[in-house]
Amino acid sequence: MMAKSKASKAQLAELFRSFIDPEFVITDEETLKPYECDGLAMYRQLPLIVVLPETVEQVQRVMRICHEHEVPVVARGAGTGLSAGAMPHKEGVVLSLAKFDRILGIDPLSRTARLQPGVRNLAISEQAAPYGLYYGPDPSSQIACTIGGNVAENAGGVHCLKYGLTVNNLLSAEVITAEGERVTLGSDGLDSCGMDLLALLTGSEGLLGVVTEVTVKLLPIPEVARVIMAGFASIEKAGDAVGGVINHGIIPGGLEMMDSPAIIAADDFCGAGYPREAKALLLCEIDGTEEEVSEHIAEAEALFRELGATSIRTSKNEQERALLWKGRKSAFPAVGRISPDYYCMDGTIPRRYLAKVLVEMEQVSKEFGLLVANVFHAGDGNLHPLILFDANVPGEFEKAEAFGSKILELCVAVGGCITGEHGVGVEKIRQMAVQFNEQELQQFHNVKAAFDPQGILNPGKGVPTLKFCQEYRSLEHKQHRHEQQGAHHG
C-alpha cells in the first residue's frame, strides 16, 4: 500500500493551480467566506480551499489528488441546500460546479435534455418551453438551485405527487467517483441493466460521487392548468378534503395546504385575497387537457363543498392562477416579515396523521414558547413547519432547534421520516438514529464504502457514525428520564 501523504494547504493549492486557472483556486479567507455555508446559515465553516474547475477532466484530477492525499471534498451547486449539506469541511476542498452551467442539448423528439450540473432548475423549463416541453420537478428554490444539487438531494416540488421527484425524471448521470473514475449511470433508455446505481446516487447528498452531467426527461406542457382555492374551518376538514379528492380518483398537479398563521402572513405580503378567517387553506391545481380539467375542476369543487369548505375560488385565467399561487410561493419570505428569523423544517408523514401531528405540534409550540406556521405539500404529506424565533435572543436558536427535533421525531413516530426533500446533511444527522437502527446505519456505511473507500466525499454528513448514535441515544434516554422525574417531583 502507498504511504498516506496528507498534503498541506499550500501544496494542494499548488497542485490545483497546475491545471485550474489560478484565479479559480481560492485560498484567502475573504474570498472563501461566501462558501462557508449553504441556505442553512446557522451552520458555518471556512474550507481550506475552494476550486472552480471548468472541465470534467479538471474535476477528475481534483478528485484523484484528493483521493491520493485523503483530503475531504464537498461538492457545491448553488448552495441553496437547507440541511448544511454543502457546508465545507475545515480541512477540505469545496468543489464548486458553478462553471458548469451549460445546457448541452435539448432533443424535442425524444423529450430529453442533456445538462451540465450547474444548470439552474428553472433554466431547463425556460429553454424547453419553445418545444412545448418542461422539466417536472420544481423545488421552490428553482430560480437558484442547480440540477446537480437537485440530483444530490432528490429534490421535489409542488408537482411531485403527479409527476414525481428528481429520481423519477432522471435518465442518466455522469459521475466522477471518489477515486477519480468517470462513469455513466443509467442511459438514454428508460432502464438499464444491472444494479440501479443511478437510483442509489439520487438523494445521496454528494456522498457517493460528483455529478458532472445529467440527462433528464421533459414533459409536454399541459394544455391548461387551473387552481381551486378552498378555505376550511379546521385542519381536519382540509385534511379530509385532500383525501376526498384523491379517493375520487383525481390526482392534482399540485395540492398544497397552509395553516392560519401562514394564510395571514402570505395574504398580508402579497394580497392574494386568501380567506383570512380560514383555519386551513387548500390550493388544488388540476392540469391536463381542456376537457379533463373542466371535468375534474367541477368534481373537485363539488367535493370540497360537500366536505365543508367555507370558501371556494377557482382561477379563471393565468393571471388569477398566478395570484393564487403567489401567496403560497412567497409564504417563506412572508413569514420572514412577521418574525426576525424562522427555521424551516422538513419531515414527511402518512397523510392520515396530518391533523394529529399538527395538533401535537401546536402543543409543543406552547411548551417551547415559539410560534410555528405551516406550509406544506399536502398531497404527499411533506410538512414544512416554520418555527419563528429571534436569533438575537440568547438561547432562542437552540430552542428552535430542539423544537425542530421534536417535530422530526413526531414524524417518525407516526410512520413518516425525518426528511422529505432537504436531506440529512449536518442538520438532521442526530435524528437518523431515531429513524434507523445500528444495523441499518452500518449497511449505509458499507454502501458508502463501496463508492468511496476512504470516505473523502462530504465526510460527517448524511449518515452518523455508530458511536455518535449511541451517545445521542443515551443522552436522549437520560433527558427523557430527567423530564419524567421532573414531572413526578413536579
Partner 1 sequence: MAEQINLLQEQVQHARSNSRRLNIVGGGTKAFMGRTADPDADKLSLAGHTGIVEYHPVELVLTVRAGTTLKEIEAVLAEQGQCLHFEPPRFGEASTIGGTLACNLSGPARPWAGSVRDQVLGIRLLNGKGEHLRFGGQVMKNVAGYDVSRLQAGAMGTLGVITEISMKVMPKPAATLTLVQDMAMEEAVRYMNRRAGEPKPVTGACWVDGKVYLRLSGARSAVEATAEKWQGSVMGDGEQCWRQIQDMKHNFFGDKNAPLWRFSVGSAANLPVLDGQWMMDWAGAQRWYRGQAALSDLEPMAQAAGGQVSLFSGGDRTGEVIHSQPEALKVIQRRVKQSFDPDRLFNPGRLYSWL
Residue pair 439/413 in contact by the 8 Å Cβ criterion: no
Nearer CB in complex with partner 1: 50/417:
417
Which parts of 29-58 interact with ligand FAD (CB under 6 A)? Answer: 38-39
Give how far Cα 83 sits from Cα of 37, 186, 415, Å: 10, 27, 22
DSSP H helix total and E strand total for the chain = 17, 20
How many residues sit close enough to ligand FAD to count as binding (CB under 6 A)?
Answer: 36
The residue range among 20-28, 78-86, 282-290, 291-299 that interacts with ligand FAD, by the rule CB under 6 A, is 78-86
The residue range among 108-116, 155-163, 306-314, 474-482 that interacts with ligand FAD, by the rule CB under 6 A, is 155-163
The residue range among 48-56, 70-78, 318-326, 407-415 that interacts with ligand FAD, by the rule CB under 6 A, is 70-78
| Residue 76 in contact with ligand FAD, rule: CB under 6 A | yes
Out of ligand FAD, partner 1, none, what residue 202 binds, judged by CB under 5 to 8 A for its kind, is: partner 1
- State the Cα–Cα distance between residues 114 and 149, nearest whole angstrom: 16
Out of partner 1, ligand FAD, none, what residue 320 binds, judged by CB under 5 to 8 A for its kind, is: none
- State the Cα–Cα distance between residues 338 and 226, nearest whole angstrom: 30
| Residue 418 in contact with ligand FAD, rule: CB under 6 A | no
Among 174, 205, 396, 427, binds ligand FAD (CB under 6 A): 205
Q: Are strands 224-232 and 311-314 parallel, antiparallel or unpaired?
A: antiparallel
Residue pair 58/20 in contact by the 8 Å Cβ criterion: yes
- State the Cα–Cα distance between residues 168 and 162, nearest whole angstrom: 11
Which parts of 456-485 interact with ligand FAD (CB under 6 A)? Answer: 458
Among 50, 52, 155, 335, binds ligand FAD (CB under 6 A): 155
The residue range among 142-150, 303-311, 315-323, 408-416 that interacts with ligand FAD, by the rule CB under 6 A, is 142-150
Out of partner 1, ligand FAD, none, what residue 260 binds, judged by CB under 5 to 8 A for its kind, is: none
Nearer CB in complex with ligand FAD: 85/253:
85
- State the Cα–Cα distance between residues 385 and 259, nearest whole angstrom: 10
Nearer CB in complex with partner 1: 66/165:
165
| Residue 80 in contact with ligand FAD, rule: CB under 6 A | yes
Out of partner 1, ligand FAD, none, what residue 141 binds, judged by CB under 5 to 8 A for its kind, is: ligand FAD
Nearer CB in complex with ligand FAD: 123/309:
123
The residue range among 152-160, 223-231, 293-301, 468-476 that interacts with ligand FAD, by the rule CB under 6 A, is 152-160
| Residue 432 in contact with ligand FAD, rule: CB under 6 A | no
- State the Cα–Cα distance between residues 456 and 302, nearest whole angstrom: 56
- State the Cα–Cα distance between residues 358 and 376, nearest whole angstrom: 11
Q: Where are the alpha helices (DSSP H) in 3-135?
A: 9-17, 29-32, 56-69, 121-128
How many other CB atoms are found less than 10 A from the CB of residue 92?
Answer: 22
Task: Kindly state the smallest distance separating residue 384's Cβ from ligand FAD, in Å.
Answer: 8
Task: Kindly state the smallest distance separating residue 195's Cβ from partner 1, in Å.
Answer: 5
Among 47, 53, 72, 81, binds ligand FAD (CB under 6 A): 81
| Residue 152 in contact with ligand FAD, rule: CB under 6 A | yes
Is residue 75 classed as helix, strand or coil in its secondary structure?
strand
Nearer CB in complex with partner 1: 27/142:
142
- State the Cα–Cα distance between residues 108 and 120, nearest whole angstrom: 19
Out of partner 1, ligand FAD, none, what residue 221 binds, judged by CB under 5 to 8 A for its kind, is: partner 1
| Residue 75 in contact with ligand FAD, rule: CB under 6 A | yes
Q: What is the 3-state secondary structure (H, E, C) of 207-253?
A: CCCEEEEEEEECEECCCEEEEEEEEECCHHHHHHHHHHHHHCCCCCC
Q: Does residue 205 come out as left (phi exceeding 0), alpha (psi in the -120 to 50 range) or beta? A: left
How many other CB atoms are found less than 10 A from the CB of residue 193?
Answer: 7
Scored b (16 or more CB within 10 A) or e, 415-453 reads ebbbbbbbbbbbbbbbbbbbbbeeeebeebeeebeebbe
Among 213, 256, 396, 421, binds ligand FAD (CB under 6 A): 421
Task: Kindly state the smallest distance separating residue 124's Cβ from ligand FAD, in Å.
Answer: 13
**Closest by alpha carbon to 42, among 93, 81, 76, 74?**
81
| Residue 422 in contact with ligand FAD, rule: CB under 6 A | yes
Q: Which residues bind ligand FAD (CB under 6 A)?
A: 38-39, 74-82, 85-86, 97, 117, 139-141, 145-146, 148-150, 152-153, 155-157, 205-206, 210-211, 332, 421-422, 458
